[in-house]
Each structure stands twice: as structure tokens, then as C-alpha cells.
């Protein structure tokens, strides 16, 4: 809504954006990032989803309407002066505790202690990239702030990363800044958070955990890089709770998921990096945002036909309201993720099944009745009148959603088999899986190659690697 209003304002047409009470502060903060600090907002008290038609009518007539008229007939010329310090300014002085108190008071931290980013530590990070400190890697919404190599180093220090993680941090920020990822949606209502998936030799070179506890904190590279992501969202993109981050409940940052490259090579399955278009053996980082998920604690069976129903059922169940991204809201951008353990991957591969064949089986079986699909959109996702038959006939969704007009026909939750992403990691000897519900175009899978500095092999083996 605000982006449409900003486009109209830029063209010289006054606007008034109707904004529910819970999003009013976010609207004001977002409008600043869009370059229109005085864009017209009209308050809608409470939330429209909990009001009767008559209640909503009264609120609009007695509160919202006057603000709409004011916004369309007047304009406040007073801008907001920026109080932001220079990127390389010294913003705090003192001991460890004093620095942390000042950073927390200024909104630079996530509530946990940070490593004070001194010039010496920043320089150590900058030594692990061929890029100049002032080089811009992209622009971060909603604050429209330049993502520089310098700011990557600063936040890397703060997060507790080691300097040699710098090439990964740079690739991560490049992925965040890629428009296909959609960083501007990081503060949306479901509170979805991003998972970083890593592939390549760098997993072993920097001692990432790809074994038991693969999604748990406790290993420095997995943990600190995951924390870096959230700090960078706060300090550079500009997502702050009670302001631009409007997650109803929210999640905290996720640790890096390092795929088990040895098992994937052994069974000749592609890695996530390969699925994203890169070659086996390349260091690749992939990010995507997920609104939830859960563990399958026991996937039992000796054949694919016995094992895969567990996955199909969970993929369909966990990606519940998210099917709005299959059709009405982001057509075809849903990308559920299933993380399976090596023993499950080996069992499937030993039966002669490729990763693609597994995806095809899941595509055929992770389905729900058409009438239930439509009910979810109409009544529970509040998408109004919805008709899969009509949309399929008009070419808005694939024809496979209309193999018949039987309301009990089973329809998929994604458009094609490869939309169902599969990663391999975790405890090698447990028959478990973890399914993530995707946030679609509000955090679309985006991958970047990790570029290493000169003499990487020698430096990464050096016993004096240093840390922040």
C-alpha cells in the first residue's frame, strides 16, 4: 500500500493510506525509508479482521474519513532531519560493559552482549576480502541504506564472527540485497525468519557443524553467522521491533544449515547450491525465509513408498495458510523445504531414487482436496471468492489444478516438483526430518557464490586465524 502511495506522490498525486492501528508506527517508519516522511496515513482503529461490518463503518466515518480528507487536501512540508552518525564515526567509548549499554540504548543490538567493533577488529575482517571497504553491495529496504563492505565487517565483529567468515558474510548481504529475495518483507506479520543454507568445501575448512544438532546453536560459525543476519537486518536494513518489524509473535535468528556434502556426493544427489544453478564443489550460500515448521521424529520404512508418506503429509500440513502463495497472493512462489537426515537420503538413493524422483513423488502426494484448498483461501485466509476452476480456465494457475471439476479431486500445493526443496543434514544415524513452511516471494530462495580472497588456502590453515 505505502509503495503504491509513494509512486503516486512521486508523480504529483496526493494520497492517503488507510492503516490499521497496529501498523501505524510501521507505516510512518516505512514511509521515511521510501523517501516520503510525510506521506498521508489515515488511522483505522483496532484491526478490521475482528470487527463487524457496522463497527467498521462507524470507525471509518468517525475517525478515518476526516484524516483521509486532510491528507488529500493539505501537505505538511516539514521534513525529518537525519540524526544518523557517519558510518565510520566513533559512536561509543568505554569498557566492554559501557559499550554494550550504549549500543543497546541506541538500538544497535539484539539484547545480547556484542563484541565492541574496534578499528583493529574491523581491519582484521576487511583483510579477508578483495573488495574495498566503501564498496556498496546493494541497497537495503525499508531504510534505503547502502550495504557496504565496511558495515558487513562492523556487524560481523559485533555478532561474534571470526574474520575468516567475512567472504560468507559478504555473500549473505549480497543475497539479502537481491530484489528477488525481498528483504523489505522481513518484518511482516507471520514473523517469518530466514534460514541460511551453506554448500562447498568451506563447510569443512571453517568447521561448520553438518552433523547432529545441525539446526541448534553451539558451533561458532553456524551460530555467529546466523546472529549476524539478524543484526544486519536491524542495523542496516532498519528492522526494529515496535517500529518496522511488525511480527505478531516472531522467531529469533536461525543458525546456518550446512549440508552434508559427503553423503550428497556419495549418493549422487545435487546439493541445494546445485539446485540453485551452481556446480558441485563451489562455495554457495542460499537464503530463504520460513514462517514455521516442525520435526518428524521417526520416519520409518525400508522402501521409498514407506518412507515418503511421512514427508508428503508434513509438507502439506505445515504449509497450510501458506497455500495463499500457490494461487492468490504470489502465484507459484511457494517453496517448502524438507531437511532429511543422511540415513534417509541413503535409503532413498539405495532404492535407485534420484532427488528429482523423490520430488516428483512428493508433488503427486502432498496434496489436498480442491474444496478444502478453496475454503482455506475464502474463509480462513480471507481472500474473498475463490475458484480454482475459474483460475485454471483463465490461465492464472497451471491446468493441473483442473484435471476434473470434482471438488474432491486432489490438487498440489506447489506448481511443479522442483518447487519442493530437499536438503540433507543432521544426525547421520537418525531417521528424522524437518519440514519448513515457506514465506514465498516474501523471502524467495536466493543464492550467491562465496568469493574467497587470495591465499585463502594458506590463511585458512594458519593456526593464528584470530577471532573477534
Residue 78: is its pLDDT beyond 80? no
Count, residues in the chain: 468
Predicted local confidence at residue 158, as pLDDT: 98
Determine contact, residues 447/369, Cβ cutoff 8 Å: no
Residue 58: is its pLDDT beyond 70? no
- Average per-residue pLDDT in the chain? 88
Classify each residue of 274-304 as buried b or exposed e, where b means 16 or more C-beta atoms within 10 Å of its C-beta: bbbebeeeebbbbbbbbbbbeebeebeeeeb
DSSP 8-class letter at 327: T
Predicted local confidence at residue 248, as pLDDT: 85
H helices within 249-354, ranges in order? 261-267, 272-275, 304-318, 342-350
Residue 27: is its pLDDT beyond 80? no
**What is this structure's pTM?**
0.87
At 223-234, the pLDDT tens digits run 999 999 999 999
pLDDT band of 122, cuts 50, 70, 90: very high
Predicted local confidence at residue 56, as pLDDT: 59
C-alpha 119 chain-centroid distance: 31
- The mean-pLDDT minimum among 341-355, 415-429, 454-468 falls in 454-468
Determine contact, residues 46/59, Cβ cutoff 8 Å: yes
At 258-270, the pLDDT tens digits run 999 999 999 999 9
Q: Hunting for cell 568451506 — which residue is that?
A: 202
Q: Give the whole-angstrom CA distance, residue 197 versus residue 229.
A: 13
Predicted local confidence at residue 84, as pLDDT: 76
Q: Where are the domains of the chain?
A: 2-73, 86-189+216-241+453-468, 190-200+242-447
pLDDT band of 245, cuts 50, 70, 90: confident
Residue 26: is its pLDDT beyond 90? no
Q: Give the whole-angstrom CA distance, residue 28 versus residue 17.
A: 11
Predicted local confidence at residue 243, as pLDDT: 86
Cell of 436: 519448513
Amino acid at each position: 500500500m505505502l509503495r503504491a502511495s509513494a509512486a503516486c506522490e512521486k508523480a504529483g498525486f496526493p494520497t492517503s493510506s488507510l492503516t490499521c492501528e497496529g501498523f501505524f508506527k510501521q507505516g510512518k517508519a516505512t514511509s521515511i525509508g521510501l523517501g516520503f516522511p510525510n506521506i498521508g496515513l489515515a488511522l483505522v482503529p483496532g484491526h478490521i479482521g475482528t470487527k463487524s461490518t457496522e463497527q467498521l463503518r462507524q470507525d471509518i466515518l468517525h475517525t478515518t474519513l476526516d484524516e483521509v480528507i486532510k491528507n488529500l487536501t493539505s501537505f505538511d512540508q516539514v521534513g525529518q532531519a537525519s540524526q544518523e552518525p557517519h558510518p565510520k564515526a566513533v559512536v561509543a567509548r568505554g569498557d566492554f560493559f559501557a559499550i554494550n549499554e550504549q549500543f543497546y540504548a541506541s538500538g544497535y543490538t539484539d539484547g545480547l552482549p556484542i563484541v565492541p567493533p574496534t578499528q583493529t577488529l574491523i581491519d582484521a575482517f576487511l583483510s579477508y576480502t578483495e573488495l574495498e571497504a566503501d564498496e556498496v553491495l546493494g541497497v537495503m529496504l525499508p531504510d534505503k541504506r547502502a550495504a557496504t563492505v565496511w558495515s558487513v565487517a562492523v556487524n560481523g565483529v559485533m555478532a561474534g564472527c571470526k574474520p575468516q567468515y567475512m567472504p560468507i558474510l559478504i555473500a549473505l548481504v549480497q543475497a539479502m540485497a537481491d530484489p528477488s529475495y525481498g528483504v523489505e518483507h522481513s518484518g511482516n506479520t507471520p514473523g517469518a525468519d530466514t534460514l541460511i543454507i551453506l554448500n562447498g568445501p568451506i563447510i569443512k575448512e571453517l568447521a561448520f557443524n553438518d552433523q547432529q544438532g545441525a539446526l541448534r546453536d553451539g558451533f561458532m560459525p553456524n551460530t555467529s553467522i546466523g546472529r549476524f543476519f539478524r543484526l544486519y537486518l536491524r542495523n542496516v536494513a532498519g528492522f526494529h521491533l515496535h517500529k518496522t518489524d511488525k511480527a505478531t509473535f516472531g522467531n529469533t535468528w536461525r543458525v546456518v544449515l550446512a549440508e552434508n556434502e559427503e553423503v550428497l556426493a556419495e549418493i549422487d544427489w545435487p546439493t541445494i547450491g546445485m539446485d540453485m544453478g551452481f556446480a558441485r564443489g563451489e562455495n554457495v550460500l542460499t537464503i530463504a525465509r520460513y514462517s514455521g515448521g516442525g520435526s518428524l521424529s521417526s520416519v520409518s520404512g525400508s522402501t521409498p513408498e514407506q518412507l515418503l508418506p511421512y514427508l508428503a503429509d508434513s509438507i502439506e500440513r505445515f504449509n497450510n495458510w501458506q497455500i495463499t502463495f500457490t494461487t492468490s497472493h504470489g502465484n507459484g512462489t511457494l517453496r517448502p523445504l524438507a531437511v532429511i537426515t543422511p540415513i534417509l537420503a541413503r535409503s532413498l538413493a539405495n532404492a535407485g531414487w534420484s532427488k528429482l524422483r523423490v520430488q516428483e513423488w512428493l508433488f503427486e502426494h502432498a496434496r489436498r482436496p480442491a474444496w478444502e484448498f478453496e475454503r482455506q483461501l475464502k474463509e480462513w485466509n480471507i481472500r474473498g471468492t475463490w475458484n480454482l476452476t475459474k483460475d485454471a480456465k483463465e490461465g492464472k494457475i497451471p491446468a493441473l489444478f483442473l484435471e476434473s471439476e470434482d471438488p474432491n479431486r486432489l490438487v498440489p500445493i506447489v506448481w511443479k516438483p522442483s518447487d519442493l526443496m530437499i536438503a540433507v543434514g543432521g544426525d547421520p544415524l537418525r531417521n528424522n526430518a524437518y519440514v519448513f513452511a515457506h514465506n514465498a516471494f516474501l523471502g524467495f530462495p536466493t543464492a550467491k557464490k562465496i568469493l574467497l580472497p587470495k591465499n585463502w588456502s594458506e590463511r585458512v590453515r594458519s593456526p593464528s586465524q584470530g577471532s573477534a
